[in-house]
Chains A and B, each alone.
Chain A
Amino acid sequence: MSLPKRIAQGGRNHRLYLLGSWGLLALLAFLVPFLFAETFAPELFGNKYTVSLANVNKSLAWAVAILGLTVLTGFSGQISLGHTFFVGTGAYTSAILVEFFDWPYLATLVVVIPMCLVIGLIIGIPAVRITGLYLALITFGLAAVFPSIPKIEQLADRDGWNTGGSNGLRVSKDLETPSWLPTNGIAEFLQGIPLIGGMFGSDGLPRRGADDVYVYFLLLLVAAIAFLLVRNLMKSRPGRAIIAIRDNPTGAQVSGINPAAVKTIAFGISGILGGVAGVMFTMMAQFVGPDEFTTNLAIFFVVGMIVGGVGTLGGSIIGGLAIVFVPAWAGQTETLPIADIEFGAEFGPLILGVLLILLMFAMPGGITSGFRQVRARLVQIIPRAPST
Chain B
Amino acid sequence: MDLFLARLFDGLGSGATYAALAMALVLIFKATTLINFAQGELALLGAYLVLVLGVEQGLPIVVAVFLAMVITAVFAAGLERVFIRPFDPSDHLPLVIVTLGLFLGINSVAGVIWGHGARDLPSMFPDGNLYSRGVANLSWVTVGNVATVLATAGALYLLLNKTKIGLAFRAVSSNLESSELVGINIGRTLQFGWALAAAVGTLGAALAILTLFLEPTVMLRVLIFAFAAAALGGLDSLGGAVVGGFVVGLVRSMGVGYLDFVPSELGVGAAVVVIIAVLLIRPTGLFGSEQVQRV
Contacts and interface: CB of A to CB of B under 8 A. Distances in A.
Interface string B266-293: 1011011001100110011100000101
Interface in B194-252: 220, 224, 227-228, 230-231, 235
Interface stretch (A129-137, A208-216, A221-229, A332-340): A129-137
Contacts of A312: none
B102 A153 contact: no
A185 interface: no
B89 interface: no
B295 to A, nearest CB: 5
A370 interface: no
B93 interface: yes
B61 interface: no
Nearest to A248: B295
Contact of B268 (A148, A352, A361): A148
Interface residues of A, number: 44
A354 interface: yes
A10 interface: no
B285 A141 contact: no
Interface string A136-178: 1110111011001101111000000000000000000000000
Interface in A295-321: 295, 299, 302-303, 306-307, 310
A250 B295 CA distance: 7
A131 B93 CA distance: 15
Chain A binding surface SS class: helix
A347 B94 contact: no
Contact of A153 (B96, B108, B263, B283): B263
Contacts of B231: 134, 137-138
Interface residues of B, number: 49
B97 A141 contact: no
A259 interface: no
Contacts of A347: 108, 112
Nearest to A364: B94
B93 A140 contact: no
Interface in A337-388: 346-350, 352-357, 359-361, 364
Q: Is the interface of B mostly helix, strand, loop or mixed?
A: helix
A141 B271 contact: yes
B165 interface: no
Given A134-B283, A137-B231, A347-B108, A357 B98 contact: yes
Interface in B87-126: 87, 91, 93-94, 96-98, 100-109, 111-112
A347 B104 CA distance: 10
A349 B105 contact: yes
A295 B103 CA distance: 13
Contact of B35 (A137, A346, A356): A137
Contacts of A138: 231, 272, 275-276, 279
Contacts of B258: none
Contacts of A152: 263, 265-266
Contacts of B227: 137, 140-141
Given A133-B235, A152-B263, A126 B279 contact: yes
A132 B234 CA distance: 13
A141 B283 CA distance: 16
B58 interface: no
B266 A356 contact: no
A126 B278 CA distance: 11
A137 B232 CA distance: 10
Contacts of B83: 357
B37 interface: yes
Given A145-B269, A151-B265, A356-B104, A306 B97 contact: yes
A126 B37 contact: no
B283 A129 contact: yes
Interface string A68-81: 00000000000000
Nearest to A139: B272
A348 B265 CA distance: 29
A125 to B, nearest CB: 9
B266 A129 contact: no
A109 to B, nearest CB: 27
Contacts of A250: 293, 295
Contacts of A144: 224, 268, 272
Contacts of A140: 224, 227
A299 B100 contact: yes
A130 B283 contact: yes
A367 B269 CA distance: 36
B280 A353 contact: no
B173 to A, nearest CB: 15
A133 B291 CA distance: 12
Interface centre among A137, A144, A145, A347 (most CB of B within 10 A): A137
B40 to A, nearest CB: 11
A144 B220 CA distance: 10
Contact of A346 (B102, B108, B263, B271): B108
B93 A148 contact: no
B134 interface: no
A253 to B, nearest CB: 10
B272 A361 contact: no
26 contacts: A126-B276, A126-B279, A129-B279, A129-B280, A129-B283, A130-B276, A132-B291, A133-B29, A137-B35, A141-B228, A145-B268, A148-B263, A149-B266, A153-B263, A306-B93, A307-B97, A346-B108, A353-B100, A353-B104, A353-B105, A356-B100, A356-B101, A356-B104, A357-B97, A360-B98, A364-B91
Given A134-B284, A306-B93, A350-B112, 9 more contacts: A130-B280, A134-B279, A134-B283, A136-B35, A140-B227, A307-B97, A350-B105, A354-B101, A356-B97
Interface of B: 29, 33, 35, 37, 83, 86-87, 91, 93-94, 96-98, 100-109, 111-112, 220, 224, 227-228, 230-231, 235, 263, 265-266, 268-269, 271-272, 275-276, 279-280, 283-285, 291, 293, 295
Q: Which 8 A-B pairs have the closest CB atoms?
A: A353-B105, A148-B265, A353-B104, A356-B101, A141-B272, A350-B108, A349-B108, A353-B101
